[in-house]
Amino acid sequence: MEQDDPCTIPRDGNNLLIWSNEISSGPFSLLINSDYDTESPPPTYLSINYLNRERPTDKNSQLNGYIQLPEGGLQCIDERILGNQSGIIFETISKVAVFLAKGKSVVGMSLPIKLFEPRSTLERMLDRWAFMPVFMRSMSGMDNVEKFKKVITMAVAGLYIAPSQEKPFNPLLGETLQAYWPDGTQAYCEHTVYHPPVTNFCIYAKDFTIDGHLELTGKFKKNSFIGGYKGKVRVKFNSGQIVSYTFPQFRAGGMVFGPRTVNWERVMLFEDNSGLTAMIKLGPKRKKTWFKKAIGKNDDFKGEIEQSGTKVCEITGSWLEGLSFNGIQAWDINRDLPVFHKFTINPLPSDWRYREDLIWLSKGYPEIAQIWKYKIEYQQRKNRKLRTLGLKHK
């Protein structure tokens, strides 16, 4: 088992959490050959059984710690998360001001470990395709419009999956992820650009592939954190049809004062190489009068599919309820359950699961995780400086 599940048991010593009392890091670490630190020993790696533990799929579990607001969208009521972040937000805002003054993105800013969840951004990104096995099955025989609708349904349905006020770990340059779904679909991700942070991905299914690269964006605006993925996702069918789409903007409100809210906003754009297009506008319908500014809820959306400029059908729904084409429901949040990815045994040494800061946080030791986070970030900056110097001397 150790061969397929490396370093999950101690190399020496009796503490099941610590891989070694002599060697400073595991074999896949960014800090190989560093000095041993008794305050931050190398952890045993996460086992495949832990990584592939079952995740609940019902709506209540996905939205655990949130309530749906009458006006639409979500509000976080998780006392643990809100308690962990209490006071830290003000410290973070002051750091943001310094970063912005230097023209830097806040995505790459070093943040306290209390703001994090023990996942990589690479893994959370795969959650966006949790409805791929549900709506993208048996695609052969469908016409272009039917397949176009399936892509829209998959993309919109994935928006509500596991919203979190906790931040996933920014991937290291060259960090990878290998995963699969029960139907045999394979997924591969790699973080290819340090600044701006860009991840490439490719998903191989029976009737199509999904690929592209996405840039993680984030900024503070007044009382909100606004983030999202910049770039396009391409779905390439074996038939030759290629559908591409963009993600909407994510807004977390109440970062300084007021309730902590979550919502998706702005638009999702879809297009293919046969002339099909769709624009989905998220949020209530704006009504320009003095007495009523909007109709509907914040989580509503509306759009239409067009074929070379001619309307094909309407798209309506809510990212917290479901989606319909011309009033016929294609996705119901209470009926259609997501299917989550699993992780492969013995992946590349650059896999996200071997990060010591993430591992220690998973094991419930945030203080040790914080030390490792500082050390890893320092090494990243040092490596980047060396790369920059190397390019200047060419």
- Residue ranges in the chain modelled with pLDDT below 50: 1-2
For the record, the structure tokens of 58 come out as: 């019902």
| 5 part of a folded domain | yes
pTM attached to this predicted model: 0.92
CB of 326 within 8 A of CB of 315?
Answer: no
pLDDT computed for residue 175 by the predictor: 97
For the record, the structure tokens of 270 come out as: 């879809």
| 369 part of a folded domain | yes
The CATH number assigned to the domain holding 121 equals: 2.40.160.120
Residue whose entry in the numeric block shows the structure tokens 């190399």: 11
CB of 132 within 8 A of CB of 207?
Answer: no
Other CB atoms within a 10 A radius of the CB of residue 268 amount to 23
pLDDT computed for residue 99 by the predictor: 52
| 81 part of a folded domain | no
Q: Are residues 198 and 155 in the same domain?
A: yes
pLDDT computed for residue 241 by the predictor: 97
Q: 3-class DSSP state for residue 108?
A: helix
pLDDT computed for residue 155 by the predictor: 98
In which element (H, E) is residue 323 found? Answer: strand 322-325
pLDDT computed for residue 1 by the predictor: 41
Residue whose entry in the numeric block shows the structure tokens 């610590």: 18
| 231 part of a folded domain | yes
| 100 part of a folded domain | no
Distance (Å, whole) CA 355 – CA 372: 9
| 76 part of a folded domain | no
pLDDT computed for residue 2 by the predictor: 45
CB of 18 within 8 A of CB of 44?
Answer: yes
pLDDT computed for residue 83 by the predictor: 87
Q: Which domain holds residue 208?
A: 117-343
Q: Are residues 363 and 252 in the same domain?
A: no
pLDDT computed for residue 269 by the predictor: 98
Q: Are residues 361 and 294 in the same domain?
A: no
Residue whose entry in the numeric block shows the structure tokens 């045993």: 44
Q: Are residues 368 and 336 in the same domain?
A: no
| 143 part of a folded domain | yes
Count of domains for the chain: 2
pLDDT computed for residue 393 by the predictor: 55
pLDDT computed for residue 102 by the predictor: 53
Distance (Å, whole) CA 362 – CA 370: 12
Instruction: Classify residue 354 by burial, with Cβ atoms within 10 Å: 0-12, 13-18, 19+.
Output: buried
Distance (Å, whole) CA 334 – CA 249: 24
Question: Sign of the CA dihedral 323, 328, 334, 338?
Answer: negative
